[in-house]
Copies of this chain bind each other. A is one copy, B any other.
Amino acid sequence: MSSQQKEYRTVVSIDPFKPASQQKGITNRWHPDIPAYATVAEGEIFHVQCHEWTGGQIINNDNADDLQNIDLSGCHNLSGPIAVEAAQPGDVLVVDILDVTPFPQMQWGYTGIFEKENGGGLFAREFDSRAAKAIWDFEGIYATSRHVPGVRFAGIPHPGLIGTAPSQELLDTWNKREAGLFNANKGVVPEVALLPGIKGAYVGQENIPQKVRDKIYAEGARTIPAREHGGNVDIKNLSRGSRCYFPVYVPGANLALGDLHFSQGDGELSFCGAIEMAGIITLKCRVIKGGVAKLGLKQPIFMPSPIDPKYHERIIFEGISVEVNGDGTQHFMDATVAYKQAALNCMDYLGRLGYSREQAYLLLSAAPVESHVGAVVDVPNACVTMELPLGIFERDIMPTDDGIERKECGQAALRSDGVRCLQHPELAPWRT
């Protein structure tokens, strides 16, 4: 390399076209005993290559059979752990997310709807949800989809999932509390929590004593939820340019990350809801000694990037904690119900524009839609908004005195047997 050359080190390298389970530097469980796969110095800039979260199960085609039959036991496929020199328990790890890009040779991603019985999603029960997907083509900073025509928007690429390794004590807390919830809801479909399980468990490193590996697989927390260490926060604005502060629980901090998203809507409602992609993330780390106590850090904090799409014009839909798109049940101050109602109102609007239920569900999950908590104090109704940016549409979608102009919009990629999400007329009486 000539003195003029300057290229950053890649500490985890993967092939996005090969299954994650055959590759090194990938793991899918949280456990303090997973050894660091790589070590970086404070201040070093480095790349991490990440598989898409299912590890290569999704195909760039026009049916959703891959989603229907997906094996989620090995998800999420994360890259790491990466140790940062000098980081010790009680420190704060400052992580600069300097860039997030797709692989040059893989300029596409996807958004998926899972089957109610295999993965679920926000409306799994209401819609009796059936597999569907949209393939998104990346055109520089933009995404478009043959499965959701008429939209084109700038991505806000980010890792859906990033966190430090838990201590044994913290891990035990997680496992205990989630087991409690699970046991209290046995038989519920979809499951209310995913407990540790050796099926699908994976640490892509050799030379781990079998005993240690067995312990990791038996106890290792699943990666689905966000927890105190960060994890699957799925915050759409944790994008390139952000700075994060994580608590450190083990020597080296042992950062793991993945679940890269090209874009996501607030709430990520279809669960496989962002534009999922494989890609490359560029990081720089620093340590604040004793930072947990100094900052009183119970959970990560972060500063967003100065870079953020300027989609200010938008239609704002409201939702309250009453199932007005349903059976009229009155909930008490439940922001999740209110979010769902706002989403249903927005989906209904999309339906009138000509989008199918699956397309609307996928679009709200994937596009830079915002959802704000309006008020959670006006008994008995929480009020939550869903904010649909006008700038992502290639036509004017504003209501007129004549109503809402409908256009033919094709359809998402569905199951090859044609089975679709339920068309419940009460929930959204749109296109059949």
Pair A298/B324 contact, Cβ less than 8 Å: yes
Pair A227/B320 contact, Cβ less than 8 Å: yes
* B-contacting 9-mer, from A33-41, A77-85, A135-143, A200-208: A135-143
Checking B177, B180, B193, B245 against A379 with a beta-carbon cut-off of 8 angstroms, the contacting residue is B193
Interface assignment of A154: CB less than 8 Å from any CB of chain B: yes
Interface assignment of A305: CB less than 8 Å from any CB of chain B: yes
Task: Please indicate the chain B residues that have their CB under 8 angstroms from the CB of A412 in the complex.
Answer: none
CB distance from A284 to the nearest CB of B (A): 7
Tell me whether A268 and B303 are in contact in the complex, defined as CB-CB below 8 angstroms, given that A6-B108, A141-B241 are known contacts: no
Interface assignment of A107: CB less than 8 Å from any CB of chain B: yes
Pair A271/B377 contact, Cβ less than 8 Å: yes
Pair B306/A373 contact, Cβ less than 8 Å: no
* B-contacting 9-mer, from A23-31, A209-217, A249-257, A380-388: A380-388
A103 to B88 CA separation, bound complex (whole angstroms): 36
Interface assignment of A111: CB less than 8 Å from any CB of chain B: no
A214 to B17 CA separation, bound complex (whole angstroms): 50
Pair B308/A404 contact, Cβ less than 8 Å: no
Interface 1/0s, chain A 55-74, versus B by CB < 8 A? 00001100000000000000
Interface assignment of A4: CB less than 8 Å from any CB of chain B: yes
CB distance from A275 to the nearest CB of B (A): 14
| Minimal Cβ-Cβ distance residue in B for A375 | B234
Interface assignment of A270: CB less than 8 Å from any CB of chain B: yes
Task: Please indicate the chain B residues that have their CB under 8 angstroms from the CB of A399 in the complex.
Answer: 245, 288, 291, 294-295, 301
| Minimal Cβ-Cβ distance residue in B for A318 | B299
CB distance from A197 to the nearest CB of B (A): 14
Task: Please indicate the chain B residues that have their CB under 8 angstroms from the CB of A316 in the complex.
Answer: 235, 237, 301-304
Task: Please indicate the chain B residues that have their CB under 8 angstroms from the CB of A371 in the complex.
Answer: 372-373
Interface assignment of A370: CB less than 8 Å from any CB of chain B: yes
| Minimal Cβ-Cβ distance residue in B for A392 | B306
A325 to B228 CA separation, bound complex (whole angstroms): 11
Pair A377/B268 contact, Cβ less than 8 Å: yes
Pair A296/B233 contact, Cβ less than 8 Å: no
Q: Could you name 19 residue pairs across A and B whose Cβ atoms are closer than 8 Å?
A: A2-B17, A121-B377, A177-B330, A226-B318, A228-B320, A232-B378, A234-B374, A236-B374, A245-B399, A267-B377, A270-B377, A271-B378, A273-B377, A288-B399, A289-B401, A299-B317, A303-B398, A304-B312, A372-B373
